[in-house]
Every structure is written in structure tokens, then in C-alpha cells.
Amino acid sequence: MSDSTYFSLNQQAWDERAKVHFDSQFYDVPGFMQGNSSLTEIESAELSEIEVRGKSMLHLQCHFGLDSLSWARLGAKVTGVDFSAPAIEKARELNQALNLDAQFICSDVYSYGETAKTEFDLVFTSFGTICWLPCIDTWAQVVANSLKSGGIFYMAEFHPIRDFLAGESYFHAPAPYVYDEGTYTENGAGHEASMASWSHPLSRVITALIDAGIKIDKVSEFPFSPYDCFEGLEQREPKRFSQWIGTHALPLVYSIKGTKI
């Protein structure tokens, strides 16, 4: 199968997931409409309100826009990109209902990068994004090309060590891992779909960003996930879900902050 065939497999699954997720307690759209932020403690602490207020932000793989609109509520001028049309439709509806000024573009990340000319102050992406992309170098090039010189890149992502312990390759292979899976929200039963994902070890992500012209300012690893989205996680602190091996917590999330040279 070609990468474009895998993309359409994933797109079908994400189109279905967008509708299921929108109605889930996990995403809590009613709470969001009443003013809750969907941002987690990780990106909220590492990308400050001062850094985003009044800045233009590209949000790659924005799903149905809750994080994009949370940044918009903090004063960022956000453009969200996602290849799922139902997700983008929901994002636009929420944007209008909340009277915010975010823009949403329905496109896969690579096609967006081939045509887009706008340079942003910030590029943001988080939690469950790069595993859907076969080539991390092309992704890093899209990130770098979308930033103004001096612009900030920030990502928070699930740690690849967890997928390795769940049976996937730690190291990258051109052929994806293809599997049938339900989704991670509590209402996901009956929505199993075939999906294709690619491993990207931390070293490759960092090197791809450096090669694309991003100066790495900070890399962090976290012994918890802010989401209860994997089997076997245990919550010992509010909104911190960990996996223990003996008495040691697994790194479940990493983040990278950098600046376009």
C-alpha cells in the first residue's frame, strides 16, 4: 500500500472519531462552551499566555479545534489544520458559536506545507499527532517553513517508549504499523477502525527539527499523561495518569520547544 492509501485509511477513521469524540465526556464540549480550557498543565506551563497573546499561531492536526480555540481565548490568532472534514466542520461551528476569530483549514499536513505561504509567530501541535505521518523530516520542514524567523515551535507528544512496550517498534520503519482499534474516548465501543501509524524515536524528531532550521531550546519528559487514554494507567495525582514498572513511572509524554533560526 502507498502512503496515500494509508492516509485515506486514517482519514476515514479520524472522520468517524471526530463525530464520536465531539459527543464524549472525554472531550467535554459542554464544559468547554462554558469556558473550560482544553489545554493541559504541560503546554499551559511551557507556552505562556504572554508568549501567545496577540501572536499568530499555526496549530497542526487540530482535531475539532478545542485546543485551537483555547489558545484563541488566550488571545492568539489561530489557524488550525486537520485533514478530517467533519473535524474541521465542528471546529468552525464552535468558533462561530463562541464568537472567536480562529481559522480552520481542511488539509493533510504535507499538502498544506506544499502550498501554504503564511509565516506564523508560533507553531503548535500536541498529543497523538506525528504517529500519523510517515516522514518526520517532511513534517519538520512544514513546521520550519511555517515559522517567521525567531518564531516559536512547541510540541507535546506521547512518549514513544510506551508504544514500544505495547509491542510496536521503537525505531522508525517506512512500513507502518497497521491495526484495528477502537478509539480512546469512553463512548468509543463499536467504532473500531483500521489505522496506520509510524514510530518516530525522540532522537529522530529532535534531529529532524534541527535539520529543518529549528534551534532546540528545551526538551522535557514527563512521568505522567494528562489524559487517561491508555490501558493500565493509574491516577495518583489529579489529572496525572501514570504507568508504573515496579516503583518507577514510565515517561509517558515529552515536549520540545524551539526557535526558528
Ligand X SMILES: C[S@@+](CC[C@H](N)C(=O)[O-])C[C@H]1O[C@@H](n2cnc3c(N)ncnc32)[C@H](O)[C@@H]1O
In whole angstroms, how close is the CB of 248 to ligand X at the nearest point? 27
Tell me the number of residues near ligand X by CB under 6 A.
19
Q: Provide the pairing of β-strand 244-245 with 248-249.
A: antiparallel
Among 55, 59, 63, 260, the residue binding ligand X under the rule CB under 6 A is: 63
Task: Considering only the stretches 127-135, 161-169, 236-244, 253-261, report the one whose residues sit in contact with ligand X under the rule CB under 6 A.
Answer: 127-135
Instruction: Give the cell for residue 65.
Output: 479545534
- Min dist CB 210 to ligand X, Å, is 22
Q: Binding string to ligand X for residues 89 to 108, with x set by CB under 6 A, is what?
A: -------------------x
**Binding status of residue 132 toward ligand X by CB under 6 A:** yes
Q: Residue 167's Cα: distance from chain center in Å?
A: 22
Least separation in angstroms between CB 10 and ligand X: 5
Burial of 193 (0-12, 13-18, 19+ CB in 10 A): middle
Contact positions with ligand X (CB under 6 A) in 43-62 = 61
Using rule CB under 6 A, residue 83 touches ligand X: yes
Footprint on this chain of ligand X (rule: CB under 6 A): 7, 10, 14, 61, 63, 66-67, 82-84, 87, 108-109, 126-129, 132-133
